[in-house]
Amino acid sequence: MPSMPPLILGSTSRYRRELLARLRLPFDVAAPAVDETPQPGELPADLAMRLALAKGREVAARHPDAVVIGADQVCDLDGEPIGKPGTHARAVDQLTRLSGRTAVFQTALAVLRPATGFERALLAPVRVQFRVLSAAEIEHYLRLEQPYDCAGSAKCETLGIALLKAIHSDDPTALVGLPLIRTAALLREAGIDPLQPAP
């Protein structure tokens, strides 16, 4: 029986690391060296897909015997990409713009196994309806959560859930950054089954 290839998460996101750990597979983490600057006129879904593949390919080039996961997420507000705010002021601006509106969080996933030529990428879009938010609510949330490393400043797994009216998704962890239903499916295709014991 062939041994299971090493699994590498090509992401520095602690949220993705925590999510992948739920599958109870041994894995390592590698930081992808990828420029995340959007290209002129690039749509959010295209940006997320391009970056997920670029991250996966960059890490796979350094680990050709591994199965590599690349991922990216871009908040899509009427076709405009809304990235990680980085600062308090930008987070205030993002949430003010998102207040009372619906955005699509374009979560992209890529799984690669260079040794077999396997490479697949797909999207797990999540429609998120934001409540009408007051300036005081936004300020209180940001002071407590400081979600400056989250696309669109919305950290739904903690207090950020109170910003929202509804979440529409067929893959419940996609909004946090790694759609685990799709991840498990692509890992099975690549030769790693979370429900099969390692040989």
Closest CA to 162 of 144, 174, 150: 144
Closest CA to 151 of 54, 44, 40, 24: 44
Give the list of residues 6+ apart from residue 129 with CB closer than 8 angstroms, or none.
101, 102, 164, 165, 166, 167, 168
Catalytic residue among 72, 149, 170, 193: 72
CA distance 60 to 114: 7
Q: Is 72 a catalytic residue?
A: yes
CA distance 54 to 118: 15
Closest CA to 121 of 111, 131, 129, 113: 111
CB 8 within 8 A of CB 68: yes
Q: Which residues are known catalytic residues?
A: 72
